[in-house]
Structure 1
Amino acid sequence: MSEFKQTFNSSLGKKLIMALTGLFLCTFIIVHVGGNLLLFSNDNGFGFNVYANFLTHFPPIEVVAWILYLCIAIHALYGLILTIKNRKSRPVGYAIQPKADASWSSKNMGLLGSILFLFIVIHMGDFWYKYKYTNAVAFKEYRTDLATGQTTVSDYTPASADFNHSVSTENNVEIVRVKDLHARVAHSFSNVWYVLLYVIAMGALSFHLLHGFQSAFRTLGWVHRKYTPIVYAVGTWFFAVIIPVAFALMPLYYFFFYKG
């Protein structure tokens, strides 16, 4: 037990924890960007609101969500510890900086991580906390004619304070009553400062993943002459380009084009 504790208290142990939590967060990012793409659906927020309700009321997903929050905290904490330790090991900079192969992102992971952690706190406070624990998010009622597939939407006021959502069918019409997180998103993305923060954070995410995804595989020893180029390509093009761009397009779309 003492050897196990000593291993994970070492620099290598901390890097292993960083790698494992980082890869878990990468899987979340894929799911999150996929669900958020529903924001581009021209359905008055129906798909996105149903998706948000599912994430916050399906018990297995809620358990995974709390594991996610724990991983974010651990990843941020160990990142801070490693950053401070690295700076303490070299308290005085070189008079002449030696040439190094390290990329800009690898040398600034602490800064990038700090920007992302600040963004996550603000982002969760604006959406997740207000959605789950306050009355700041109103309700919508969606009525879908099952014969024609046509959906109409209207505001809905619950009869009781503990109402969360409901799905029912009356006269071949499906009635879905759910919190309108979509309206909250549209409101937040109408603020130029929030949009700027979001885009800057996605830039930080891009550089963070550019180094972090590849570094996680090296830390875990998953290095192979045949597969390492694939890891680098996935880390560069999928995680460092496609996903951050997809995230950044959401606030830009709502700020410049959404007419809700």
Structure 2
Amino acid sequence: MATSGLFLCFFLIIHLLGNLQLLSPPAVAREQFNWYSHLLSGNILIKIISYVLYLSIIAHAVYALIITRVNIKAQGSKYVYDKRGKVSSWNSRNMGVLGTIILIFLVIHFKDYWYIYKFGNLPLDVKGNKDLYSIVVSSFQQGWYVILYELSFIALGFHLLHGFFSAARTLGLYHRKYAAAIRVVGWIYSLAITLGFMLIPIFIYFNLNF
């Protein structure tokens, strides 16, 4: 669970850096983003990494279900003194809910972009690359889709925040000598990823609709 989660954390950095090209002026953004999309689909090394990514997502979801079932069984007998709400964060107690929201979002996300790019009949840009930029921009011009995207990444932010600390503990990295540093890194990472992804649809929506 920890290793698959940390790999996905690394992937989110790469994915965000690529998507930030959408903040460029439209003509530049179209060319750069379509080139980036073509690179991801045409490079053999990146294809191998993408297969690892798919397996990591599946493994992360499956392990989450297993852990949830184990936890449910373990809760068969109640504690005499149970005040977990006071000693644990809200997101740590609701990782299953947050994970479910993210999983639903991923299904929508893959259907709207990955599936269309791989199997749809997309037009080509002036450089001969599939014009995924037009699909992304079109989706982010719809208010309901922007709201869905924003809510999903708020859920991801809470999920990342707890998951980062939990993975550090699991891998033996959360030592009291540098626990404060890990917490700072975790907060910075979670906020940067969450706000970075949330900025993109808002920027496109307000710049192209008004």
Q: TM-score, normalised by structure 2?
A: 0.92
The within-5 A match list for 1:1-260 is 18-44=1-27, 45-91=30-76, 98-99=83-84, 100-135=86-121, 137-141=122-126, 176-239=127-190, 241-258=191-208
How many residue pairs match? The answer is: 207
Against the structure 1 CA distance between its residues 91 and 197, is the aligned structure 2 distance closer, same or farther, given a 3 Å change threshold?
A: farther
* Mean Cα deviation higher: 189-198 or 116-125: 189-198
Which AA in structure 1 matches 2:153?
Answer: M
1:71-128 CA-to-partner distances (Å, cap 9, x unmatched) read 0000011111111221232247779852541110100000101100110111011001
Which AA in structure 2 matches 1:73?
Answer: I
* Bigger helix share: 2
1:161-185 CA-to-partner distances (Å, cap 9, x unmatched) read xxxxxxxxxxxxxxx2111111000
How far 1:251 moved relative to its partner? Answer: 1.0
- The structure number with the bigger radius of gyration is 1
1:92 and 1:228 map into 2 onto residues whose CA distance is: 33
* Bigger strand share: 1
Which AA in structure 1 matches 2:5?
Answer: G
**RMSD value, Cα:** 1.9
Which AA in structure 2 matches 1:32?
Answer: H
Against the structure 1 CA distance between its residues 76 and 41, is the aligned structure 2 distance closer, same or farther, given a 3 Å change threshold?
A: same
1:41 and 1:259 map into 2 onto residues whose CA distance is: 16
Q: Looking at both structures, which has the greater relative contact order when contacts are Cα pairs under 8 Å and sequence separation is at least 6?
A: 2
Q: Percent identity?
A: 43
Consecutive unaligned residues in structure 1, runs of 5 or more? 1-17, 142-175
